[in-house]
Structure formats: C-alpha cells, structure tokens
C-alpha cells in the first residue's frame, strides 16, 4: 500500500469524493495509479479505459480491469447509471468530442468527477501576458507542438458551461503545488476538480 505522502494531490482530492464500496469507471486511466488507490483505500469495483497499449500492461500488472480503447467511442455500450462514478481526470481536455463524452459520462455514471488543468492559472497568465508565449506550467507542461491537449479552459469556463447545460456542481476542489486553493481559485489554482451530476 502506498503511503499518504506519495499520493498525488489530485488523486487525494478524488479519493475524498468517492464513497467506499462504490463502482468506478476511470476514463483515460493511464497506468492505473488512481484506480489502484481507489480499490485499496475505498474498496471500489473499478474499471478503466485507456488508449495506450503499454499502459494497459501496467494496469493489468496492478490487477485492474482495463479496456484498451478510445474514450471518445468507449461509453455508448454501458447502461444508464452503470457506475456510481465516472472519472475524467486529466482527460477531458484531450477528448475530440467533449460534449458527447461528458453527457454520456453523466448518463453512465450517477456522478461524474472531472479534473483538468486551469488555463487561467496566474503563471499561465503571466507567461502569456508578459512574455507573449503560450503557457507552460506544472499542469500544462507541454510545448505547443507536442501537447496532447485539444481544449484549453479555465475553471470558470467549466462552471459557466455547467450552468448553461444545467449540470449540478456538487463539489469543487482547487489545487496548486499540492495545496488546496480557497481564495481566487481561477487565478491561483492550476488544477480544478469537480464532482458533478445531472
């Protein structure tokens, strides 16, 4: 079992949002660190979907159930409310069809947890404003020519969107440098994590 110190702060925030003994679908689960953590600490029934073949091998080595495939086409076969939680952690901004996947996630999961890098983070603003360069920050570490991100949004953009689409925002967690941000989060946080439902 992992020690608390080594748990990434976004994983810890998600761990807090998930109830014990629930079922979880992690979209873009990567190496399966978050799912493994949820299974160990919250005894969840976990299922991952991941596009990278090598990541599949690492997930399977952790004893996880994981499907090799594309999130953009991966949700349609699931029944309504098939999972207690659907997690889109650091994968929302890389989707081709954000809206389709988000609404399918809200259909398949009773609740959805979304985590993404905040484009309006202060350091990103400074880099863009003073240096005239596209932001490269801890949560947005890629150069323009190698980024897998297709969508750039701030935490306020996301909240506006939820309001417009009548998506309930049940919990909001803002993070920067492993700390919770409570004041002016759209300025000081580089990661936003939201628990949403229909």
**Contacts to other proteins by CB under 8 A:** 45, 47, 53, 56-57, 59-61, 63-69, 77-79, 82
Pick between residue 8 and residue 58 the one whose CB is nearest to other proteins: 58
Backbone angles phi, psi at 154, to 5 degrees: -100, 170
User: Who contacts 54 (Cβ-Cβ below 8 Å, separation ≥6)?
Assistant: none
Q: Map tokens 């748990």 to a residue.
A: 7
Q: How far is CA 139 from the centre of its chain?
A: 12
Task: Say if residue 47 is exposed, middle or buried (CB neighbours under 10 Å; 0-12, 13-18, 19+).
Answer: buried
What is the smallest separation between the CB atom of 72 and other proteins, expressed in angstroms? 14
What is the smallest separation between the CB atom of 98 and other proteins, expressed in angstroms? 21
What is the smallest separation between the CB atom of 154 and other proteins, expressed in angstroms? 34
What is the smallest separation between the CB atom of 83 and other proteins, expressed in angstroms? 9
User: Who contacts 183 (Cβ-Cβ below 8 Å, separation ≥6)?
Assistant: none
What is the smallest separation between the CB atom of 3 and other proteins, expressed in angstroms? 22
Pick between residue 9 and residue 22 the one whose CB is nearest to other proteins: 22
Pick between residue 66 and residue 196 the one whose CB is nearest to other proteins: 66
Q: Give dist(CA 149, CA 124) in Å, integer.
A: 15
Pick between residue 46 and residue 115 the one whose CB is nearest to other proteins: 46
Pick between residue 45 and residue 198 the one whose CB is nearest to other proteins: 45
Q: Give dist(CA 160, CA 153) in Å, integer.
A: 11
Is residue 48 within 8 Å of residue 67, measured between CB atoms? yes
């Amino acid at each position: 079992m992992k020690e608390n110190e080594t748990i990434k702060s976004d994983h810890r925030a998600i761990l807090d949002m998930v109830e014990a003994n629930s079922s979880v679908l992690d979209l873009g689960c990567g190496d399966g660190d978050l799912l493994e953590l949820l299974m160990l600490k919250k005894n969840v029934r976990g299922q991952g979907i991941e596009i990278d073949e090598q990541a599949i091998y690492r997930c399977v080595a952790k004893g996880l159930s994981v499907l090799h495939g594309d999130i953009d086409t991966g949700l349609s076969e699931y029944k309504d409310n098939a999972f207690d939680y659907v997690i889109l952690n650091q994968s929302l901004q890389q989707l081709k069809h954000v809206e389709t996947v988000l609404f399918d996630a809200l259909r398949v999961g009773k609740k959805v947890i979304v985590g993404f890098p905040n484009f309006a983070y202060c350091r990103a603003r400074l880099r863009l404003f003073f240096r005239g360069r596209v932001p490269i920050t801890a949560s947005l570490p890629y150069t323009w020519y190698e980024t897998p991100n297709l969508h750039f949004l701030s935490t306020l953009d996301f909240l506006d969107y939820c309001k417009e689409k009548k998506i309930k925002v049940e919990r909001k967690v803002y993070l920067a440098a492993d700390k919770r941000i409570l004041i002016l989060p759209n300025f000081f946080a580089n990661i936003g994590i939201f628990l949403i439902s229909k």
